[in-house]
Amino acid sequence: MDIYDSVFELIDMRSFSNLWYWIVLAVMWSSASHWVLGVPYDVVQRARNQLNNGQSDQSRDALNDLEDLVRLNINRMTYISDLSGLWLMSFLFFLLSSLFTLGFVYRLEFSQALFLLLFPLSVVILLTVRKALEIHRDSPARADLINHLGRLRFQTQLIGMFSILVTSMWGMYQNISAMVLGI
């Protein structure tokens, strides 16, 4: 047995039995729920605390910081969606349908793993762009802006939990099938 066989036997290069895949899944959903509309959620919490308590956060106005970050990110998202939103959406649907076909019709495990990562994340991205356009259109007050960001984070966390559940169930099915078949 040479060194390559030993390394590949130790690491197991299949997607769902690879530890790195599960680390990527956890980090991806942790990051997606922390960055709401491109704003770290701790900034939203500090602004909510300042709004409720009427206190300044270490001589920095957390509400102004939140409004500035949201304004910058919303302007960026609306500009990109206006400029190339149709092309990005077309490419996203092409990529997802290709991964679905390769993964679930032709049974390529790597494509299944990528699809189970990217499909729910694309739903979160679409929700985020929709919320950005809504906030840009309505210009909500500070309290309403904080509520919008809180609801978007909650929706992201729900999608993430469901995605992790489905991915783990499908991954267990694939690993058990591989053990039974001796692959």
Structure tokens that stand for 110 in this block: 């790597």
Q: Is the per-residue pLDDT at 11 higher than 70?
A: no
Question: Do the domain assignments include residue 94?
Answer: yes
- Considering only CA atoms, which of 147, 124, 125 is closest in space to residue 135? 147
Q: Is the per-residue pLDDT at 114 higher than 50?
A: yes
pLDDT value, residue 52: 86
Question: Do the domain assignments include residue 21?
Answer: no
Q: How confident is the model at residue 19 (pLDDT cuts 50, 70, 90)?
A: confident
Q: Average the pLDDT over 86-97 and give the result.
A: 97
pLDDT value, residue 12: 59
Quote the mean pLDDT of the chain: 90
Question: Do the domain assignments include residue 172?
Answer: yes
Q: How confident is the model at residue 80 (pLDDT cuts 50, 70, 90)?
A: very high
Q: CA-to-CA distance for 128 and 24, rounded, in angstroms?
A: 21
Q: Average the pLDDT over 1-24 and give the result.
A: 75
Q: Is the per-residue pLDDT at 69 higher than 70?
A: yes
The owner of tokens 């899944």 is 25
Q: Is the per-residue pLDDT at 71 higher than 90?
A: yes
Question: Do the domain assignments include residue 42?
Answer: no
Question: Do the domain assignments include residue 173?
Answer: yes
Q: Average the pLDDT over 60-64 and give the result.
A: 84
Q: Is the per-residue pLDDT at 51 higher than 90?
A: no
Q: How confident is the model at residue 21 (pLDDT cuts 50, 70, 90)?
A: very high
Looking at the chain, the number of H-run helices and the number of E-run strands are 6, 2
Question: Do the domain assignments include residue 153?
Answer: yes
Whether the CB-CB separation of 146 and 51 falls below 8 Å is answered with: yes
Question: Do the domain assignments include residue 183?
Answer: yes
Question: Do the domain assignments include residue 87?
Answer: yes
Give the domain extent around 91: 77-183
pTM of the model: 0.87
Q: How confident is the model at residue 124 (pLDDT cuts 50, 70, 90)?
A: very high
pLDDT value, residue 183: 62
Q: How many domains would you assign to the chain?
A: 1
Q: CA-to-CA distance for 48 and 155, rounded, in angstroms?
A: 19
